[in-house]
Amino acid sequence: MSPIIRRLLTTATKPKQNDKRLSSKSLALSVHFLHPKFGMKKHEILSRATAFLLNVDPFYDPASVSTVSSATAGGSDTYSHLDSNEQLRASKRLRDNYAHEPAGGPPRHVKDLGWLEFCPAAYRPLVHCVASSHVLAPWKWKNYYPQDWLSQVNEEHCSYSLEVYDSLQPQKGALAKFALNPYPIHHPAGMDLAIIHLKNEEAALKHMEDL
């Protein structure tokens, strides 16, 4: 897990210099829609709710399971940088070879992986953005939203975004806004749970860390 992800997955960030309060951040996921048949000229809000980020892979430090390391060998090791480079390559292979290894990290049984750890092999994200299914796709939840017009709306009419707020000063508005890929994945068993992913993920996560 990168330092960026580890920090983002905590419930609060460290206070900035000269700020005595603990600066806590919250996330709001918004769904806007534009349907030409409704005479709409621009996107309007369809739904909005809180969300949170969930690391795709559990923390895994290749060095902790290495049978040989420069630390245990004692003294300085001329080839220690080779060990480090190999560990970086191994971590990269875990991500690149997702089609063959459904979840990175130490070996585990399929029953222990959980549905959240399965995602398209073509794109292995660092984090899931987790929210309620009825927020990402209200037309799927007719018991919640029985309006007839909503049945004409689907994902092709929607755009998704994630905003970061200071929980202590929400009146200041969003600190930053990030686009989400328009491909939410809904819980396969019909639970009110879904995941969606950031566009330009690494840059977005770095920006979040700097807020």
In one letter, which amino acid is 104? G
Q: What is the model's pLDDT at position 75?
A: 47
Question: Do the Cβ atoms of 119 and 196 come closer than 8 Å?
Answer: no
Note the helical H segments in the chain: 3-8, 70-73, 80-96, 133-136, 201-210
Place of tokens 């029953």: 111
Tokens of 206: 């770095």
Half-sphere exposure of 105 (CA within 13 A, CB side): 14
CA distance 54 to 199: 16
Q: What is the pLDDT of residue 117?
A: 56
What is residue 94's predicted lDDT score, i.e. its pLDDT? 54
SS3 assignment, position 188: coil
**Could you read off the pLDDT tens digit of each residue along the chain, which spans 211 residues?**
444 555 554 434 444 444 544 568 899 999 999 999 999 999 999 999 999 998 877 665 555 555 444 444 454 556 666 667 777 776 666 555 444 444 444 555 545 555 555 555 555 788 889 999 999 999 999 999 999 999 999 999 999 999 999 988 888 889 999 999 998 989 888 899 999 999 988 899 999 988 8
Give the three-class secondary structure for 104. Answer: coil
Residue 72 CA, chain-centre distance (Å), reads 36
